[in-house]
Amino acid sequence: MSINGDYNELEDIRIKGSEATSEIQQLLNTYSEKAQIMSRDIQELDSLRMAEAPDSLLEARRTAFEQESKNIRQHFLDAAQKTKHPVSAVFAMQLVRFDDAKDLLDHKAQFESIIKRFPENTMAKDMAAYIADVEKEATQGAASGPESMIDQQAPDFTLPDPNGKQISLSSFKGKYVLVDFWASWCGPCRQENPNVVKAYLKYKDKNFTILGVSLDKTKDAWLKAIADDGLNWSHVSDLKFWESAVVPLYGISGIPTNILVDPQGKIVAANLRGRGLEEKLSEVLQ
C-alpha cells in the first residue's frame, strides 16, 4: 500500500495498493466532506453571533451542529467495528473526535473490541498501549487535580477582570458557578467553547453562571478570544500563563479544566465537557 499526499491535508491524500485501501479512501473522503460541512456551520454560527441573532436561533443552530457532530462520530465508530481490516479499524478510530480523556475512555469497549479482533496486529498493539497510557494519566490526574477536590470547599482566589477590577470566586456564593480554566492559545479550549456557550444560554436564568479563568499571557489575545467565541460571562486573569496563582491552587496540569461549585461554595464536579457538562447541569439545576 502506498499513500500519496500531505497528512495535514487529508482531503488531498490518495491511497493505492491493498484490499483495505478503498475503505480507507472512503473514510478520508467522508472525513473531508464532513469537515467542510462542520466548518461552514461554525462560520454560520459565528456570523449569527456577530449579528446578535436571537438566543433561540443560536440555540437551534447549536443543537443542529451538536447532532451532526454526534452523527459523524457514530459513523466512524461503526466503520471501525464493521471492517475486517485492522488498518481500516484503527484509522477509523483515529478520525473520531473525543471531547477529552474521559470521553475517550468511555469508549474503551470499542477500542478493546478492535484489539481483541486483531491481537497480533502492530497498529492494534500500539492502540492498546496508547489507551493504557491515557488511562494511567487520567488516574494520576484524578488523584491530584481538581477531581480530587470534589466534595471539598473550593479554595478562594481573587484575580483582575479585563477592566482591572478584582473579582473573587467567593463573590459568586449563592449560585452554581462553573469555573472554567482556559486560554486563547488552547485549541481544545476553543473547540469546547461552543458547548460552554450552549450550557450558559440554557441555564443562565436558573441560578447558574460561569467564571472564566484564563492562563493567557497577553491581554489583547485574551479579549479577542472572549469576543470571537461569544463568552458573555465574567472573566479574570493575571496574565501569568502557567505561573498563575490558580495553577497550584487547583493542581491544574492541563486545560481545558473546570470545576462546578454549588451555592454553598463546595465543588460538586470537575472536568465537565461536551455531553457531560449538559447532563450534570440538568441534574443539579432541574
Given this model, what pLDDT does residue 173 score?
Answer: 94
Claim to verify: residue 59 and residue 172 sit in the same structural domain: no
What is the C-alpha separation between 275 and 66, in angstroms, rounded?
10
Given this model, what pLDDT does residue 2 score?
Answer: 38
Given this model, what pLDDT does residue 207 score?
Answer: 95
Claim to verify: residue 6 and residue 136 sit in the same structural domain: yes
Question: Mean pLDDT of all residues in the chain?
Answer: 86
What is the C-alpha separation between 74 and 220, in angstroms, rounded?
39
Q: How many other CB atoms sit within 10 Å of the CB of residue 263? A: 14
Claim to verify: residue 62 and residue 133 sit in the same structural domain: yes
Q: pLDDT tier at 5 (50, 70, 90 boundaries)?
A: very low
Claim to verify: residue 70 and residue 109 sit in the same structural domain: yes
Q: Is the pLDDT of residue 7 over 50?
A: no
Q: Is the pLDDT of residue 146 over 70?
A: yes
Last residue of a domain, one of 123, 142, 161: 142
Given this model, what pLDDT does residue 177 score?
Answer: 98
> How many residues does this entry show for the chain?
286
Given this model, what pLDDT does residue 97 score?
Answer: 79
Last residue of a domain, one of 119, 142, 165: 142
| CATH code for the domain of 255 | 3.40.30.10
What is the C-alpha separation between 282 and 145, in angstroms, rounded?
24
Could you say which DSSP state residue 153 is in? B
Claim to verify: residue 185 and residue 261 sit in the same structural domain: yes
Claim to verify: residue 267 and residue 207 sit in the same structural domain: yes
Given this model, what pLDDT does residue 141 score?
Answer: 57
For the segment 207-222, the average pLDDT, to the nearest whole number, is: 96
Given this model, what pLDDT does residue 13 score?
Answer: 41
Q: Is the pLDDT of residue 119 over 60?
A: yes
Residues 6+ positions from 142 with CB-CB distance below 8 Å: 148
- How many domains in the chain? 2
Claim to verify: residue 75 and residue 171 sit in the same structural domain: no
Share of the chain above pLDDT 90, in %: 52
Claim to verify: residue 135 and residue 18 sit in the same structural domain: yes
Q: Is the pLDDT of residue 8 over 70?
A: no
Claim to verify: residue 174 and residue 134 sit in the same structural domain: no
What are the cell numbers at 197? 456557550
Q: Is the pLDDT of residue 12 over 50?
A: no
Last residue of a domain, one of 142, 165, 185: 142
Q: pLDDT tier at 40 (50, 70, 90 boundaries)?
A: confident
Q: Is the pLDDT of residue 32 over 70?
A: yes
Phi, psi of 2 (to 5 degrees): -125, 145
What is the C-alpha separation between 182 and 218, in angstroms, rounded?
14
Pairing of strands 176-182, 208-214: parallel
What is the C-alpha separation between 59 and 211, in angstroms, rounded?
21
Q: Is the pLDDT of residue 181 over 80?
A: yes
Claim to verify: residue 105 and residue 163 sit in the same structural domain: no
Highest average pLDDT, of 24-28, 136-140, 158-162, comes from: 158-162
- Domain of residue 242 covers 149-285
Does residue 159 contact residue 215 with C-beta atoms inside 8 Å?
no
Q: Is the pLDDT of residue 186 over 60?
A: yes
Q: pLDDT tier at 10 (50, 70, 90 boundaries)?
A: very low
pLDDT digits (tens, 9 = 90+) for 44-74: 877 887 787 887 887 888 788 878 888 898 9
Given this model, what pLDDT does residue 56 score?
Answer: 82
Indicate the pTM of the whole model.
0.58
Claim to verify: residue 71 and residue 87 sit in the same structural domain: yes
Share of the chain above pLDDT 70, in %: 91
> What is the chain's Cα-based Rg?
21
Claim to verify: residue 172 and residue 276 sit in the same structural domain: yes
Q: Is the pLDDT of residue 77 over 60?
A: yes
Residues 6+ positions from 85 with CB-CB distance below 8 Å: 19, 20, 23
